[in-house]
Structure 1
Amino acid sequence: MNDIIKSIQNHRSIRSFLDTEVSEEVIDELLKASQSMPNSINGQQTSVIVIRDKKTKSQIAKLAGDQKWIEDANVFLLFVMDFYKTYKAGEKTGNPQVIHESIESTLVGSFDGGLAMGGAIIAAESLGLGIVPIGGIRRSPSKIINLLELPEYTYPLAGLAIGYPADNSRKKPRMPLNSFKHNEKYHTEVLDKAIDDYDKEMETYLKEIGREKEVNWSTATSSVYKSVYFPKVYPTLKDQGFNNDK
């Protein structure tokens, strides 16, 4: 196993950062790695907003549900689904863009944004930086859109807080590999035992880190997924031009 794989498999989210600057040169290298990730049709429908301003980070932290580590991180990257760039290409060539009206654009843009963030995460952790992804920016999406002046046909997908770790958090266990890896077809028959085994492992882990109120994976996950936890996403997607009706 090489050092890159070791670094990836050693991932953990960091929510406590040193007051140490991450240089512009390092951020540019992370973004070059991010931009180098694959994307659909070479449409490159992802953009990243780099945020260092303390006031802006503080506003985003509040909008994301009072996530203080956004404010504490030296840099915050906002990954944006960006069909405005491709819309401009259509204006230039006389081929009016339609894809943003289809659910396909939301799937493609979200998947490509995830790939781009994954590249940034791997690059950051390989340099000894700590990161934590932030889905909470979709909690108040219209305010994020206004704050960062996002144009039509764009949407804030997720953020990434980056800084030098003040401490290394415990590595969170993952589900058994056989619940993730399915040979030749999807094997539903392995899931009950895999979930039971993982719930026991997570129960121990959560007690050890003082979060026993979450109980286990099944309880924690189902308590969130029993409702639409970011209900403003759908209406604000439509406001940005993503009708999702084709």
Structure 2
Amino acid sequence: MNETIQLIQNHRSIRSFLDKDIDNEIIDEILKSSQAMPSSINGQQTSVIVIRDKETKAKIAHLAGGQQWVEDAPVFLIYVLDFYKTHLAAKKNGLTQVIHESVEGTMVGTFDSGLAMAAAIISAESLGLGIVPIGGVRKNPGELIKLLNLPEYVYPAVGLAVGYPKDNSHKKPRLPFETFKHEESYHTEGLEKAIEQYDTEMKGYLKEIGREQEGNWSKLTSGIYQYVYYPEVYPTMKEQKFSNDK
């Protein structure tokens, strides 16, 4: 195993940061790694908002549901679906963009943003930085869109808190590898047993980090997934012209 693979497989989320700034040059190199990732048809429908201002980070932390580490991190990155740039390209050529109105467009923009963020995560960790992704930027998206002055055809996908770690947090175990890798076709056999095994492992992990009240993986996940936990996403996507009706 080489150092890059070892780095990736040793990932853990960091929610406690040192009071130490990150040079602009370092952030730029991280974001150049993001920009270098592939995108559908080379549309490059991802942009990143870099937040350093303490007041703005505090507002975002509040909008994200009181996530203090958003405020504490010296830099907060917000990855956005950006079909405004492609809209301008269409306008330049006398054409009308439609892709942003479709579920396909939402999938393309979201997946490409994920690829870009993954590169940032690996790059940041290779430089000794810690990160934690923040889906909570979608909790109150309407207010965030106003705060960031996002034009139509642009929508916040996910945030990334970046900073120097105060400590190296516990590495969270994953589901058994056979639940992730499927040869030739999807295999349902053995999944229930594997989930049972993982629940036992996660119960021990959660007790170790002082979060035993969460129970285990299946209890926590199913408790959240029984409802739409960010219900403002759909109406605000429509306001940004992502109608998702095609």
- TM-score class, shorter-chain normalisation, is over 0.9
Can you give the 5+ residue segments of structure 2 that lack an aligned partner in the other structure?
A: none
Supply the distance in 1 between the matched residues of 2:49 and 2:243 (Cα, whole angstroms).
24
Q: How many residues align?
A: 246
Confirm whether residue 159 of structure 1 aligns to residue 166 of structure 2.
no
Cα deviation for residue 190 of structure 1 reads 2.0
| SS class of match (1:133) | strand
Residues 82-132 of structure 1, C-alpha deviations (whole Å, 9 max, x = no match): 000000000001111011111110000000000000010000001110000
Normalising to structure 1: TM-score of the pair? Answer: 0.99
Supply the distance in 2 between the matched residues of 1:200 and 1:118 (Cα, whole angstroms).
29
Supply the distance in 1 between the matched residues of 2:162 and 2:147 (Cα, whole angstroms).
20
List structure 1 runs of 4+ shifted beyond 3 angstroms: none
Return the letter of the residue paired with 2:147: L
Query: 1:30 maps to what in 2?
Result: 30
1:64-213 paired onto structure 2 within 5 Å = 64-213=64-213
| SS class of match (1:78) | strand
Q: Could you tell me the percent identity over the aligned residues?
A: 67
Can you give the 5+ residue segments of structure 1 that lack an aligned partner in the other structure?
A: none
| Root-mean-square deviation (Å) | 0.5
Residues 17-54 of structure 1, C-alpha deviations (whole Å, 9 max, x = no match): 00111100000000000001111000000000000000
Residues 124-163 of structure 1, C-alpha deviations (whole Å, 9 max, x = no match): 0011100000000100000000000000001000000000
Supply the distance in 1 between the matched residues of 2:73 and 2:101 (Cα, whole angstroms).
36
Residues 197-236 of structure 1, C-alpha deviations (whole Å, 9 max, x = no match): 1000000101111100111000000010011000000000
Normalising to structure 2: TM-score of the pair? Answer: 0.99
| SS class of match (1:199) | helix
